[in-house]
Chain A
Amino acid sequence: MNYRLGNKIFQLFFIAVAFFGSVFTQVAYGQDGKALFSQNCASCHAINKDLTGPALAGVEDRWPDQKMLYAWIRNSQAVIKSGYPRAVEVYNQWNKVAMNQFPNLTDAEIASLLKYINEEAAKKAAGPAVTVGGGDDPNAAKASGQDSTLLYGILTLVLAVVALVLLQVNSNLKKLTDDKEGVVRLEPVPFWRNKTYIAFLTVILFMVGGYLTTKGAINLGRNKNYTPEQPIFYSHKVHAGANQINCLYCHGGAEQGKHANIPSVNVCMNCHTAINEYNGEKLYTADGVEVDGTAEIQKLYKYAGFEPGKPWDPTKAKPIEWVKIHNLPDHVYFNHAQHVKAGKVACQTCHGEINKMGEVYQFADLSMGWCVNCHRETKVQFNDNGFYSIYEKYHADLKSGKLDSTKGITVEKVGGTECQKCHY
């Protein structure tokens, strides 16, 4: 019963995570000025200070013609060539460094970008701002029902002691009555030498010991909730959560191959040549110690061999030795692309609400049972992915109703629980 219930909760949780996950990924692509800013502008521009490019606060006021500003954002060189005075002025003022082109931005997107810039500029003017939003407690959803195992345990123990005492009393009373009636009986054996008790105790100890040993053995090598200290306090909550950077921006390998890959220093520096201080919501480690975000960025600069204000020489960079959290045994083959690209599984399904993690911990126990359960329940992209067109029989059965189309074709149906899918 418990197992089934647990399963249901698990399932619900999955669905919830998948739902939030999809919302989250969509947001990154939507007309959210903040996300657009992070993705397109932030590597060269800040709102209130000059970086590679000028501070963007009040940019709309500086451009008399909004149309020209839009054109400039899409293709600055063309505007310069057209001889528009403001364009030429900016170009010359900034040492003739050409701005990147964004020909794919729509009018609506640029509008939301500019709106975001204005809002941020206004906030700054109003006083120190809280730029990071959303501080939900990831543990809020923790089951509120109290664990009553301990209570029952104590009760059992008390009852066992009472029973023992009563048995002793009983045997003493029997002895007394026997003495009275003149029945000759042996001295009663003290309970600690009573073979029945000893045998009973041994059996119980054996069972409990066996249970604990087995349970312990199964958990060997599993590291759920493993939260090692990393060389740099890197917060996914700040990057993926508050700043809505797409997971694939750093972990592009997830769509291409086996490993999701940890970004190399040059990927960090794409943004951090510009972003050199942290002034968002306060950061805490899992132990509750406060972390200075700006100091952590300085650590990155040390690895990168970068001095703010000077051009960065990537050849001076040294790799960062991150501690690996998700470790699979050598006899397991796992491929990210299979899940992310072909299966369209959200990152959060296996990694938890990574966008809310200050420090990353291992969300799932990564056990075989956990993998297989998901393979039993998850549907493959049966109609959307052309690969599955070769499963003609299933297509026919779905049409004829022989297979339940609401249940769909699960991974298991296409052989996803066979040994050699992961072990070879």
Chain B
Amino acid sequence: MEHNKPWQSFGELTNSEAYQKSVKDEFKEDLPFENADNGFLQAATPRRDFLKYVGFSTAAAAIAASCEVPVKKAIPFANKPEEVVPGVANYYATTYVQDGDVVSVIAKVRDGRPIKLEGNDVCPVTAGGTSARVQASVLDLYDTARIRFPLMDGKESTFEAVDKAVAASLSSGAVIVTSTINSPTTKEVVAQFLAKYPGSRHVTYDAISYSGILQANAATYGKQAIPNYRFDNAKAIVSISADFLGTWLNHVEYAKQYAKGKKIDEKNPTMSKHIAFETVASLTGGNADDRFLYKPSQTAAVVKALYAAVTGGTVTGIEDTKLKEGIEKAAKALLAAKGAALVVAGSNDTNVQIVVNGINEALQAGGNTIDWSAPLQIRQGVDSDFAKLVDEMNAGAVRTIFFYGANPAYTWYDAEKFKAGLAKTSMSVSFNWKEDETTQLCKVAIPDHHFLESWGDAEVKAGYISLLQPTIYPLFKTRQFQDTLLKWSGSAVDYVTYLKNYWSTKLGGITAWDEALQTGVIVPASATLAGASFNSAAVATALGALSASKAGKYELVLYQKVGLAAGHGANNPWLQELPDPVTKATWDNYIIVSPTLAKSLLKIDLTNGGQADAYETQPAKKVVKLTSNGKSISLPVLIIPGTEANTVGIAVGYGRTEKYGRASAGVGKNAYVLSQLINGNIAFESTDVQLELQAETYKVGLTQTHNTYDTEQGNRTEVMKEMTFAAYKHNPAEIREERDKELKPWGGLEKFESQGTIYPVYDRPGVKWGMSIDLNACNGCGACVVACNAENNVAVVGKSEVVRGHEMHWLRIDRYYSGSLENPKVVFQPLMCQHCDNAPCENVCPVAATNHSSEGINQMTYNRCIGTRYCANNCPYKVRRFNWADYNGSDSFADNQKSILDDSVMMMNDDLTRMVLNPDVTVRARGVIEKCSFCFQRLQEGKLKAKKESRPLETGKDGKWDLQVACQQACAADAIVFGNANDKHSAITMHRTTNGNRLFSSLEMLHVLPNVTYLAKVRNTFDEGTHHTAEKPKAPAAAH
């Protein structure tokens, strides 16, 4: 079943009744005029009540207004620090550290409060890129559920008391269980402690383990480490269930590298080729040029077949013809790019990874796409070490145990056994900064600082150091883990001094240290790629050892979401409300099934419009009970194309305990219990599970169908354009020619602006803002969405409101499918206010609250808005958001939100959490419309900077920037370009002029003249280039 028209929802695919209705309405719900047919007297709010309300509100307003103006205080510093000017932000280079993950960031500190993190451009690893989790982590600093003081037996204690209590039980040493530590100084601090207390040892335990790769590399390369993957050097990439753009290893760096290969230079068009083999739809699979589906039980067969194919053998052991063909094609593509090819696999099976190493070796990846000069340090844990420790704990051999960053009571596959073992220790100490599942069971908790309050260093790759410095004085009575260990080891210096001494000595002086701290990174002098000697014997052994596992009727895959990952983001409302790029669901985990399985298991036939509607338009989803190895879990089911027919997926990281926080409480279920320990490694899959349809349903907050908009559609929708690389090479100007043809009746491309309208064309003297988004580079990860939340005080609305279609995101990423229902191609399109120069919303506002600026901005004035929502109804892009409730607690009357809104929203209204608000952006009250402002506060700040220095504004000329908008700054793939389109040398002008062939604006023929443009998605697929017959779309009335 091939479809030329891309579709966002199953309703759109079948053009169902509900879909046709939804494209006509801006808002999901009808207005609350219940029983209006019976006359207003019978209505829920009759005339008398109405008069009462009017009377009350008038009286209340009069009383409130006639009160005296409150006296406000202006309290200056007693002694103003030299570097602080109230009202002016300071920026400090520091580092996002979460378990092993390391991203260099610049923290924006406004009046002493960190309020926003931006990528650090100086860092050669991530080069200014961030992820959704990095962007959201600043909110964790103000998490209301942080441990605020040391705890002993769950009660508040003091550092002196806990130090004394722990000191008494250190005589026989302690076991320190941590997630990966890649800080050189912390490693030394730990070593000092181990030396001081003989009998102690350090065990590294990663919740999401990569021990398969570590051990495979030990076997083949003789190094138990992870190489530095170079996706930017790869012309052909094969990923086998490795979500390297979303969650796998150092994904921020990979996203940047991957985008480099996907961007097209018009003069010399080349493009990398990416083939994904997947079990359950993932972000990476959606971005792949071609995707093939397989079952978890076939993993061994797939890698063996691919190994055979690249080493000149034949593909055997694969019955599925599509998959077999895919492997053959992939092998061909890899071999064609020998020396610039890369294969990565997500499996945690050592033998699978050894074979993958064998494939890479056969493709001469070593020294090219696999670099051993600077191995990656972000995951070091080996599962069998921890499994052994759990056995010892149960045997009563462990007396004293510490936890730092590790939370096995939640993440370990056999949490019950771990808990039993923990109960047998006599002293357990947790250094985690949240009261997580393990901390709750420990006798003593000595909370660590948040990373924004900490000193430290992190070595992401060998030699590449990123430094941490505090950006705020610790909010609570917390103490850094390193300080505690140093104290217990009897060290005379604290950790700051230790760190300073360590690096001053290494760098050759305190000045060098200060300089490094200022830039935030220490970079090795040279960076030549290096290979490593390869032990082929290991591959032969692994090939022999790999056998197909026993497969049941249904199979299960556990995966991480871009937002929550291993579960650290569970209490972060920004991440919980971030629509998952693949499923577009918020606030829950669920079982992902394929359309085929939906038909057989749920009795939902998506090709039947009525059944698709019944599934899609109601938030209530059918619930299925999944049983694996005797453990059961009941979750709602979502149908996601691109998932293997009989494989289901569940995200980990959900189902936290009450104490973890108000946003995570009661959200989803813990799927870690379904993981297994196979051959010493944790396997995040199960090849034999049972599924049982339950009677009940469960509501899931899905956002994809909330803002549907439709147009006359030809071969390609006018909203989003895509084409194959073959078609592009055949005629690079195809899209431009098509646009020109489309606009012919109104003067063609050249004169469309003036001839397409009866309105005059306005001057845009000075600055004219513009944005351009390369759909080839965008991978849909959602970092921009969270960055926008943080920068613009975008409200969190909670699950109950998302279900009603009330989410507030200014920037959403639309997911389009095209091709077959079972395994479609996916395009991600970020969509925000398009700042139309001829904006339909502006004409219909009765109070002129939304109007146009001379700089091309579609302005929104909240204090003028009366909430008619006409503008939202008239917006062709559906990007305007209405404040249905008092999400921010900014109304004059307190307590009018409590019964309506979720507890997670109330958490965002806590005085502590509110510290994250950007003071330069109005916090919107109930009853007004809001939307993307192009980060107006940043534009003003940037212009002021130029004015103060009396020089023209710089937006990207020679790499100089006075301002970058939040989404642009956050993007790891550099997909978003922004700047002054009137400047001939600005980045935006260069972007548009050098990519004229792929350039388009969404719904162009409406003549709304958006200031946001896109570059069409080009896919380097095996499919034949679809040369469209370009049926001419029916001409809509040319604007106004």
A418 contacts which chain B residues (CB < 8 A)?
Answer: 851, 853-854, 859
Interface string of B57-89 (1 = CB under 8 A from A): 000000001000101111111111000011110
Do B69 and A386 have beta carbons less than 8 Å apart?
A: no
Are B79 and A266 in contact, CB atoms less than 8 angstroms apart?
yes
* Contact A263 B76, beta carbon cutoff 8 Å: yes
Q: Chain A nearest CB: distance from B345 CB in Å? A: 48
A253 to B84, CA, bound (A): 10
| A342, closest chain B residue (CB) | B947
Smallest beta-carbon distance A218→chain B, Å: 12
Which of A17-25, A61-69, A322-330 is near enough to bind chain B? A322-330
Which stretch of B587-595, B734-742, B936-944 is in the interface? B936-944
Task: Give chain B interface residues in 82-112, CB to chain A under 8 Å.
Answer: 85-88
Is B267's beta carbon under 8 Å from chain A? Answer: no
Q: Residue-by-residue, is B910-933 near A (CB-CB < 8 Å gives 1, otherwise 0)?
A: 000000000011110000000001
CB distance from A421 to the nearest CB of B (A): 8
Residue A321 at the chain B interface, CB threshold 8 Å = yes
CA distance A386 to B948 in the complex (A): 9
B85's partner among A257, A322, A386, A420 (CB-CB below 8 A) is A257
Residues of B within 8 A of A228 (CB): 71
Interface residues of B in 934-956 (CB under 8 A from A): 936-937, 940, 943-944, 946-953
The segment from A32-40, A108-116, A232-240, A311-319 found at the interface with B is A311-319
Check B946 against A387 for contact (C-beta < 8 Å): yes
Is there contact, CB below 8 Å, between B944 and A424?
Answer: no
Q: Does A220 contact B (CB under 8 A)?
A: yes
- Cα–Cα distance between A223 and B936 once the two chains are bound (Å): 29
Within 8 A of B (CB), among A347-392: 384-392
Q: Which of B942-982 contact A (CB under 8 A)?
A: 943-944, 946-953, 980, 982
- Shortest Cβ distance from B947 into A: residue: A342
B999-1040 near A? 1/0 per residue, CB < 8 Å: 000000000000000000000000000000000000000000
Known A-B contacts A265-B79, A393-B765, A423-B863; A258 and B88 likewise in contact (beta carbons under 8 Å) = yes
Q: Are A317 and B943 in contact (CB under 8 A)?
A: no
Bound complex: CA of A415 vs CA of B936, how far in Å?
14
Residues 266-284 of chain A, each 1 if its beta carbon lies under 8 Å from chain B, else 0: 1100000000000000000
Separation of A223 and B87 alpha carbons in the complex (Å) = 24
Q: Check A261 against B859 for contact (C-beta < 8 Å).
A: no
Looking at the complex, which one of A253, A386, A388, A421 makes contact with B88 (CB distance below 8 Å)? A253
Residue B983 at the chain A interface, CB threshold 8 Å: yes
Q: How far is the CA of A341 from the CA of B945 in the complex (A)?
A: 10
Inter-chain contact B79/A258, CB cutoff 8 Å:
no
Query: Is there a chain B Cβ closer than 8 Å to A331's Cβ?
Result: yes
Chain B residues within 8 Å of A390, by CB: 766-767, 952-953, 980, 982-983
For A420, give its contact among B75, B853, B950 (CB under 8 Å): B853
> How many Å lie between the Cα of A392 and that of B949 in the bound state?
19
Partner of B76, one of A319, A327, A338, A424: A319
Cβ 8 A contact of A324, one of B72, B860, B862, B944: B72
* Residues of A380-424 whose CB lies within 8 A of B: 384-394, 414-415, 418-421, 423-424
Is A308 among interface residues, defined by CB-CB distance under 8 A?
no
Interface residue A118 (Cβ < 8 Å from any Cβ of B): no
Given A228-B71, A261-B86, A418-B859, A333:B853 Cβ within 8 A: no
Q: Whose C-beta in chain B lies nearest to the C-beta of A261?
A: B86
The answer to whether residues A386 and B950 also contact, given A257-B88, A266-B80, A423-B862 and a CB cut-off of 8 A, is yes
A159 within 8 A of B: no
User: Is B763 an interface residue, CB under 8 A from the partner?
Assistant: yes
B944 to chain A, nearest CB (A): 6
B855 at the interface (CB under 8 A from A): yes
Interface size on A, residues (CB 8 A): 58
Interchain CB contact under 8 A, B76 and A322: yes
Tell me whether A423 and B857 are in contact in the complex, defined as CB-CB below 8 angstroms, given that A253-B88, A394-B765 are known contacts: no
Q: Provided the pairs A338-B944, A386-B952, A415-B854 are in contact, do residues A420 and B79 lie with their beta carbons within 8 angstroms?
A: no
Chain A minimum-CB-distance residue to B70:
A327
User: How many angstroms from the CA of A322 to the CA of B71 in the assembled complex?
Assistant: 10
**Contacting residue for B922 out of A322, A330, A342, CB 8 A:** A330
What is the distance, in angstroms, from B74's C-beta to the closest C-beta of chain A? Answer: 4
Chain B positions 845 through 876: 1 when the CB is less than 8 Å from some CB of chain A, otherwise 0: 00001010111010111111000000000000
Distance of A371 from chain B, by nearest CB (Å): 14
What residues on B are CB-neighbors of A264 within 8 Å?
A: 76-80
Q: Is the CB of A324 within 8 A of B952?
A: no
Counting chain B CB atoms within 10 Å of each CB, the highest count among A303, A317, A423 belongs to A423
Inter-chain contact A419/B78, CB cutoff 8 Å = no
Does A335 belong to the interface (CB within 8 Å)? yes
Are B65 and A220 interface neighbours, CB within 8 A?
yes
Contacts of A217 in B (CB 8 A): 65
B88 touches A256 (CB 8 A): yes
- A residues near B87, Cβ cutoff 8 Å: 253, 257-259, 261
Instruction: Report yes or no: B74 in contact with A342, Cβ–Cβ below 8 A.
Output: no
In the bound complex, residues from chain A placing their C-beta under 8 Å from that of B860 are 420
Residue of B nearest to A330 (CB): B922
B944: contacting residue among A322, A342, A394, CB under 8 A:
A342
Q: How far is the CB of A356 from chain B (nearest CB, A)?
A: 22
The complex places the Cα of A324 from the Cα of B86 at a distance, in Å, of 15
Interface contact B862-A331, CB-CB below 8 Å: yes
Name A267's closest neighbour in chain B (CB-CB): B80
Q: How far is the CB of A390 from chain B (nearest CB, A)?
A: 5
Contact residues in B for A388 (Cβ distance below 8 Å):
766
A221: Cβ under 8 A from any B Cβ: yes
Residues on the B chain within 8 Å of A338, using CB = 940, 944, 947
In the bound complex, how far is the Cα of B949 from the Cα of A261, in angstroms? 21
Q: How far is the CB of A376 from chain B (nearest CB, A)?
A: 15
Q: Which of B78, B87, B953 has the most CB of A within 10 A?
A: B78
B78 A424 Cβ-Cβ under 8 A: no
Q: Does A98 contact B (CB under 8 A)?
A: no
Contacts known (A386-B950, A419-B864, A420-B859); A253 close to B86, Cβ less than 8 A: yes
Complex contacts, B851 vs chain A, CB 8 Å: 418-419
Q: A253-B88, A387-B951 are in contact. Are A318 and B78 (CB under 8 A)?
A: yes
Contact B76 A262 (CB under 8 A): yes
CA distance A252 to B980 in the complex (A): 31
Kindly list chain B residues whose C-beta atoms are within 8 Å of the C-beta of A303. 78
- Which residue of chain A has its CB nearest to the CB of B88? A257
The answer on a CB contact under 8 Å between A424 and B73 is: no
C-alpha gap A256/B854 in the complex (Å): 26
Tell me the bound Cα distance from A341 to B946 in angstroms.
11
List of A residues within 8 angstroms of B949 by Cβ: 386
Q: Does A337 contact B (CB under 8 A)?
A: yes
Q: Is the CB of A321 within 8 A of B73?
A: yes
Residues of B within 8 A of A315 (CB): 79
Which of B853, B862, B948, B980 has the most chain A CB atoms inside 10 A of its CB? Answer: B948
Contact B947 A385 (CB under 8 A): yes
Are the C-beta atoms of B69 and A221 separated by less than 8 Å?
Answer: yes
How many Å from the CB of B17 to the closest CB on chain A?
41
A423 lies within 8 A of B922 (CB): yes
- Given contacts A337-B948, A419-B861, A424-B936, whether A261 and B76 have CB atoms under 8 Å apart is yes
Enumerate chain A residues within 8 angstroms of B80, measured Cβ to Cβ. Answer: 263-264, 266-267
- Given contact pairs A263-B76, A387-B951, A419-B859, enumerate 4 new A-B contacts (beta carbons under 8 Å): A253-B88, A337-B944, A419-B851, A423-B862
Binding site for A on B (CB under 8 A): 65, 69, 71-80, 85-88, 763, 765-767, 849, 851, 853-855, 857, 859-864, 920-923, 933, 936-937, 940, 943-944, 946-953, 980, 982-983
A-B residue pairs in contact (CB < 8 Å), sample of 16: A221-B69, A258-B920, A261-B85, A264-B77, A266-B77, A303-B78, A317-B78, A318-B78, A319-B76, A320-B75, A321-B75, A324-B73, A385-B947, A391-B765, A420-B859, A423-B922
A-to-B contact residues, CB < 8 Å? 217, 220-221, 223, 228, 252-253, 256-259, 261-267, 303, 314-315, 317-324, 327, 329-331, 333, 335, 337-338, 341-342, 384-394, 414-415, 418-421, 423-424
Per CB-CB distance, the 4 closest pairs between chain A and chain B, nearest first, are A258-B87, A257-B88, A420-B859, A342-B947
